[in-house]
Structure 1
Amino acid sequence: MTESALGNNNELVRRRNLGVILSLVHASGGLSRSTLTRETGLNRSTIGALVGDLAEHGLVEVLTPDSAGTVGRPSPIVSPAPGVVALAVNPEIDAVTIGIVRLGGELVTRVRYPTDAPPTPVEAVRISAAVIDGMRGELQANLVAGIGVAVPGLVRASDGLVRWAPHLGWRDVPFAEMLAEATGYRVVAANDATLGAMAERAFGAARGIDDFIYLNGGASGIGGGIVAGGVPVAGKAGYAGEFGHVRVTGEVNAGGDPEAGALERSVNRAALLAAVGRTDAEADGLEAALLASDDEHVRAEVRRQLDHLSVSLRNAIAVLNPERIVLGGFLASLFAVDPEHLRSRVAAQVLPVADEEAEIVRAELGQGILMIGAAELAFRDLLVDPLGIVARV
């Protein structure tokens, strides 16, 4: 091997190791240098040099812990630099939500811009760009990794093209490209529920779980994300996990409606809002109203929706054998009202051995989940090649 080739290989290894370290720090929120040494298998001097590189480029902070009451010198703590952020955008049928998320998964700003009707792609870009422009003061001192977009629809994995977002009425929309042109930032897009699954695996209820399903209930319907053997299951073009379109009733429309009997026809936020007499779309308000209600009509609607949801979960357990099912968005609120009803209905429909392994829980990240998930998408390249992204932004 020539000296030049050896040098190139050494640089590739160094850049890969920088990504490994930054990924560990990001996922944990901060680790001691001694823990990084143990986790990576690299020696102390190599870890010190790599951490120094990351700190020099403003990606991590190295902090000296309080040594009071300890024996010996404690290992420095390596934490994500608070100035490293990603932007997040989530267009929905009734609002466009924009957020700022720090490296380490901390949502620091979330702005929900309501709309009277589903925004067109041009309107969603205009709203997003205007809100982001208003955030420039917060972003001046930051390294912005880019913008992640959580889309309630089918997004082609290869280029982020929104192939079909039925509730928004978008078809073959290059939304990421449009938003990049309007803001000047690098933009990547993916399905909203897939990103919710990423967020819960990184920082929430699926942390450390290699086989799980995430179902997200939003204004546009129900979507899902699947992780099997620690690997996200996206399908050939990235469209896997559309649980909302799976049939759960025997309804057949004589007109050939392909959505007849689909889960999101039977389980939807609009019916829950109507039951409690609310128009407030935020999940926290809906959940509080559902929990506070003693109206039998409300309870009956909750049980009806849980019964239909149980059919979908039964099918998912039979096909995928997950360790955990995580419910987010309004599905988490629905579950919170009567969790035992859903669990018992699922248990009654699946093979007993399969049900022993499938735990049903609610998402832990609340209404910030899609912001955090979209930011994970924007951070992805930074975590693979930190210095390469720093050089580009």
Structure 2
Amino acid sequence: MSLAEPSAGTRGNSNDHVRRHNLSTILGLVHRTRGLSRSQLTQAMGLNRSTIAALVSELVEHDLVREESAESTNQVGRPSPMVRPSSTPVGIAVNPEIDAITVGVVGLGGRVLRTERHQLTSPPTASDAVRVTAQILDGLRPELTLEHRIAGVGVAVPGLVRETDGLVRLAPHLGWRGEPFAEMLQQVTGLPVWAANDAHLGALAESSFGSGRAVSDLIYVNGGASGIGGGIITGGVPLLGTAGYAGELGHTMVNPTGIACHCGAFGCLETEVRRDRLLEVTGLSSQSVGRLAAALASSTDPRVAAEVTRQLDMLIVALRNVVNLLNPKLIVLGGFLAALQSAQPARLRDFGRNSALAASFDCVQIIPSELADDLLMIGAGELAFESLLADPAGFPLRSAP
């Protein structure tokens, strides 16, 4: 069955439903690849060229894609025009953390156009985070409304977020419990808002635009100021769990004699592998976290080497469990975990190779995030674009003034 062909359960639907489905499929392909030729779309969709031309023209009319002349090729015949994402639609990405609130403007194709980071001296309440985010958006909105159309707002939350309505059940490092953050931000900004766990969104971004583009089984592990989280793609599909809370890798027990965690257990991964300890031994502040990888790699201080080794050994315990349980092709490390890996890359590369279950470890690669600092912005942007990608024909030609 081709991508454009309705299944047996949808054959009775109207032509309009099929048209909307095809528009969604084309826009999704162009968005994820950042550009395909009309002939490539024709092949992928299994439709004739005139139908593809009509569908692309409708997306052009809605200013969701643009067509460009193709470069000359050695193939016989006229080159097929390239179809690329339009720069007009944007999603607003928000990432509240204990030390800062970051707001990004993300275009179709997973391109981060701009970021604004508001540094904090203490973890924000949900109300504080709404107020700061709204202030940043108010500053950006005059420029955005002139040049772009806002599809919505996606929020990457370091905590448990209920999939059905974006309620933040628990973000312990922020001190949020039962906070309807998406609803609160929507009321203040007047924009549609969706929220999800930051690591889940990181896995989605890495799978769509990063090192996991051709990988159907991957795990993204995020290390941030608020701890450690995991996002899982299995068989090409996000693994969310019943209510969306799957992937809490930070609460894997790695040290039975370790300290108490806020979750009530002892020796959790995020109590043993922590960004603040790495900043402390390198003498860096949270504002200079971007220099952490270089500081760890260049340090000759034995205290730094010892802390890196200790944290990597604890991370290995958690990753061993993940590999044995899920047998991923790829493990992607983001945030400070990428810096930790780069300090002693062989330690993670070689772990598990001589174990009794070595076959699982032979299959897996452990690499830093290709998207690096843009990853959570791109992931939150994907959340903002979900409705647009699902129904391009329903996206208004102009945003409200």
Range into which the TM-score falls when normalised by the shorter chain: over 0.9
Contact 1:280 1:286 in 2 (8 A): no
User: Is 1:177 aligned to 2:183, yes or no?
Assistant: yes
Deviation at 1:344, TM superposition (A): 2.3
| TM-fit CA distance, 1:72 | 3.2
In structure 2, C-alpha distance between the alignment counterparts of 1:374 and 1:6, rounded to whole Å: 34
Shift of 1:248: 0.5
Distance 1:213 1:45 in 2: 41
| Amino acid aligned to 1:183 | T
1:123 aligns with 2:108: no
Who is 2:98 aligned against? 93
Q: What whole-Å deviation, never above 9, does each CA across 1:304-337 have from its counterpart, x for those lacking one?
A: 1000000000000111011111111100110111
Inter-CA distance 330–255: structure 2 relative to 1 (3 Å threshold): closer
Question: Residues 95-140 of structure 1: CA distance to partner in whole angstroms, max 9, x if unpaired?
Answer: 0000000000000101110000000111101110111111113311
Which residue of structure 2 lines up, in the alignment, with residue 18 of structure 1? Answer: 23
Distance 1:64 1:298 in 2: 54
Q: Distance in 1 between matches of 2:339 and 2:179?
A: 32
SS at 1:16 equivalent:
helix
Answer whether contact 1:307 1:345 (CA < 8 A) is retained.
Answer: no
Aligned to 1:27: 32
Seen in structure 2, the aligned counterparts of structure 1 residues 71 and 153 have a Cα distance that, compared at 3 Å, is same
Single out whichever of 137-146 and 178-187 deviates more from structure 2: 137-146
1:227 aligns to 2:204 (yes or no) = no
Question: Counterpart of 1:351?
Answer: 357
Aligned residue number for residue 315 of structure 1: 321
For the Cα contact (< 8 Å) 2:73–2:79, is it kept in 1? no
Q: Which residue of 2 aligns with 1:285?
A: 291
2:376 maps to what in 1? 370
Please name the residue that 1:186 is paired with: 192
- In structure 2, list runs of 5 or more residues that go unmatched: 1-9
How far is the alpha carbon of 1:284 from its aligned partner?
2.4
Identity %: 53
Q: How many residues are paired up?
A: 389
- Note closer, same or farther for the CA distance 1:7–1:230 as it changes in structure 2 (3 Å cut): closer
Unmatched 5+ residue regions in structure 1? none
The aligned counterpart of 1:205 is: 211
Q: Distance in 2 between matches of 1:56 and 1:184?
A: 26
Counterpart pick for 1:160 among 158, 166, 170 = 166
Does the CA contact (< 8 Å) of 2:261 and 2:271 recur in 1? no
Partner of 2:88: 83
371-380 or 343-352: bigger deviation:
343-352
- Shift in alpha-carbon separation, 1:387–1:283, aligned structure 2, 3 A: farther
Which residue number corresponds to residue 51 of structure 1? 56
- SS of structure 2 residue aligned to 1:239: coil
Q: Decide whether the 8 Å contact of 1:283 with 1:333 is kept in 2.
A: no
Aligned-pair CA distance for 1:260:
1.3
SS of 2:350's equivalent? helix
Q: What CA distance in whole angstroms lies between the structure 1 residues aligned with 2:16 and 2:356?
A: 52
Whether the aligned pair in 2 keeps the contact of 1:213 and 1:227 (CA below 8 Å) is yes
Deviates more, 1:59-68 or 1:124-133: 59-68
Secondary structure of 2:382's aligned partner: helix
Q: Is the 1:211–1:228 contact (alpha carbons within 8 Å) kept by the matching residues of 2? A: yes
Q: Does 1:39 align with 2:18?
A: no
Aligned with 2:142 (options 137, 151, 157): 137
TM-score by length of 2: 0.93
Alpha-carbon offset, residue 254 of structure 1: 8.8
Q: 1:272 to 1:353 in 2, by over 3 A?
A: same
CA offset at residue 390 of structure 1?
Answer: 3.0
Per the alignment, in what secondary structure is the counterpart of residue 61 of structure 1? Answer: strand
Please name the residue that 1:246 is paired with: 252
Q: Deviations over 1:333-359 (max 9, x none)?
A: 101111111222343556111111111
- Aligned-partner Cα distance in 2 for 1:96–1:381: 25
- Residues 121 and 350 of structure 1: is their aligned pair in 2 closer, same or farther, counting only changes over 3 Å? farther
Deviates further, 349-358 or 253-262 = 253-262
Q: Is the 8 A contact 2:261 2:268 kept in 1?
A: no
Q: Which residue of 2 aligns with 1:195?
A: 201
DSSP 3-state at the match of 1:62: strand
Residue 152 of structure 1 aligns with an amino acid whose one-letter code is P
CA contact (8 A) 2:186 2:193 kept: yes
Aligned equivalents of 2:287 and 2:318: distance in 1?
24
Q: Which amino acid aligns with 1:380?
A: E
Specify the SS of the correspondent of 1:132: helix
Cα distance in 1 for residues equivalent to 2:203 and 2:338: 14
Using the alignment, how far apart are the partners of 1:192 and 1:301 within structure 2? 26
1:108 to 106, 113, 124: 113
In structure 2, C-alpha distance between the alignment counterparts of 1:252 and 1:244, rounded to whole Å: 14
Whole-Å Cα distance in 2 between the matches of residues 252 and 144 of structure 1? 46
How high is the TM-score relative to the length of structure 1?
0.95
